[in-house]
A and B are shown apart, each in its own frame.
Chain A
Amino acid sequence: MADLKVKIGALEFKNPVLTASGTFGYGHEFQDFLNISRLGGIIVKGTTLEPRQGNPYPRMAETPSGMLNAVGLQNKGIDVFINEIYPQIKHFDTNIIVNVSGSKLEDYIAVVEKLNHLDRIPAIELNISCPNVKQGGMAFGTSCTSAAEVTKAVRAAYKKTLIVKLSPNVTNIAEIAKAVEDAGADSVSLINTLLGMAIDAETRRPVLSTITGGLSGPCIKPIALRMVWQVSKAIKIPVVGLGGIMNATDAVEFLLAGATAVQIGTANFIDPAISEKIVDGIGEYCTRHNIAAVTELIGALKI
């Protein structure tokens, strides 16, 4: 059996398979379907300083090989997370990572300061890429200056592993990744959803209440792979790759493109047991290809 361990900054993962924010709840929703302690990590729903109700229904539209969502960061706020949710999930024997979202710099800082104290949260994923909230969110992630500014401020306030989640809705994602690296991030994850839209021709109305939404699922995989490849060549810190991963082969493709770890998102909706199967599948791939350690696959694309 191959060694599946990977490292991001100082943090070790038992394998490179994490679940993506907003697609895996807080983990306990999936307990009937898989063994969470077999995963490399889980990234919980985008968490903001104050509770948020998100956008009005309808928030979802199915698309060819994917879906659009406009959930808009509905969450109970950091205090409810710490006091009510964290106690229920902290026993999970995996890396629990909080996806931190916000619309103001001060809010990000206030949230990460509270997270510093939680023993069982070894890392955060800073979401500067949510396309579904009007203020901030993605705005931070679409210019090098603002991405660097927010990363720097959070780096100063947060002691543990800092992953910054990048938006694909930019002209040059590698430039943004470089800015975030220079500002002190330990890692970048990409991609968040692509801005898209769905129309109901019969009613002549948009399907989503917000008109536009974030596209995810296998339809975005080629774009995500390309971006992971470009970014991993441009920076030295580890890249976490995601976007449309449906099975172990997809996950291996991201590793080959340069990702150190991967996240499973929309696939959790189709098969709630998929992330554990992907752990097994990567192991089998390594055995089949006589690979002793999964780290040998990282960036091993033959050109």
Chain B
Amino acid sequence: MKKFIDDLTVCSNRKLNNDYFILGLTSVKPLPAMLPGQFAEVKVENNPAVFLRRPISVHDVDYAKNILYLLVKIVGEGTRTLSFLETGNTLNLVYPLGNTFTTEDVKNVLLVGGGCGIAPLLYLARHLHNLKIKTTILLGGRTETDILESEAFRQYGEVYISTDDGSLGEKGFLTNNSIMAQITNFDRLYCCGPLPMMKVLAAIAKQHQTDCEVSLENTMACGIGACLCCVTPTTAGNKCVCTEGPVFNVKQLQWQI
């Protein structure tokens, strides 16, 4: 897929709560085709403390309105600076980068998102819905404010929720959610979230011989396969998360699960 370096225009910046916001970005040109799981390397301007671009997933694309959405969690200087963007500002992106989730040979799937890990999953849910694949969504987080976009997900399938403190949905880790009892019904799990959560989920999937794809968030410099900073060990040696990922089937990874 051809990659672009483009200035997009901020058309919305919606604050979800103190930690999360969603940027809407548009362009005078039609946006390029993007696949679920792909990401953009975003240039953070006006903050000398931020040097490298920041990788952010494609959260959703509305081709009719020519808008790309990015869901961002404020964790440091880069993401904080992005949260100040206003309508009309420009944002420079190198995109679309990385691979995508596999959606062939599945009829019934479970999407599992922990906290900000839901970022790539909404666009995936839309895509699966278009392919008429039965989709169930499991969202988890520490507390209520980590559960994002559950209404948007409901357009595409049944939504299950877990919070560690029980403030929303079932109390406990999402890997203990009641839907997990039905894990063998699913042809594949798609998961994005904190690494420990993904590893527990991958272990459960393995136990039940259910296929599982995860999206990794290794730190990156270039995002285009040039620097080799972002590697993860796989059965075929070190692979770049930015070009051969971010989506991997757990069978490819050297996880001790």
Residues of A within 8 A of B (CB): 22-25, 29-30, 32-33, 45, 53-54, 56-60, 62-67, 69, 71, 74, 217, 266, 268-273
Contact = CB atoms under 8 A, between A and B. Distances in A.
B48 interface: yes
B94 interface: yes
A71 to B, nearest CB: 5
Contacts of B228: 22, 45, 54, 59, 71, 74
Contacts of A33: 3, 5, 94
Interface size class of B (residues with CB under 8 A): 20 to 34
Interface in B209-244: 218-233, 237-238
Contact of B51 (A45, A217, A268): A217
Contacts of B227: 22-23, 60, 69, 71, 269
25 contacts: A22-B227, A23-B222, A23-B227, A24-B226, A25-B226, A29-B224, A29-B226, A30-B224, A33-B3, A53-B237, A57-B218, A57-B230, A59-B231, A63-B51, A64-B51, A65-B48, A66-B51, A69-B229, A71-B228, A269-B53, A269-B221, A269-B222, A269-B223, A269-B227, A272-B222
Interface of B: 2-5, 43, 48-53, 94, 218-233, 237-238
Nearest to A76: B237
Given A23-B226, A59-B229, A60-B220, 20 more contacts: A24-B226, A25-B225, A29-B224, A29-B225, A30-B224, A30-B226, A32-B2, A32-B4, A53-B238, A54-B231, A57-B231, A58-B219, A60-B219, A67-B52, A71-B228, A71-B229, A268-B222, A269-B52, A269-B223, A272-B222
Q: Which of B4, B49, B237, B238 has most A Cβ within 10 Å?
A: B238
A79 to B, nearest CB: 16
Decide if the interface of chain A is mainly helix, strand, loop or mixed.
loop
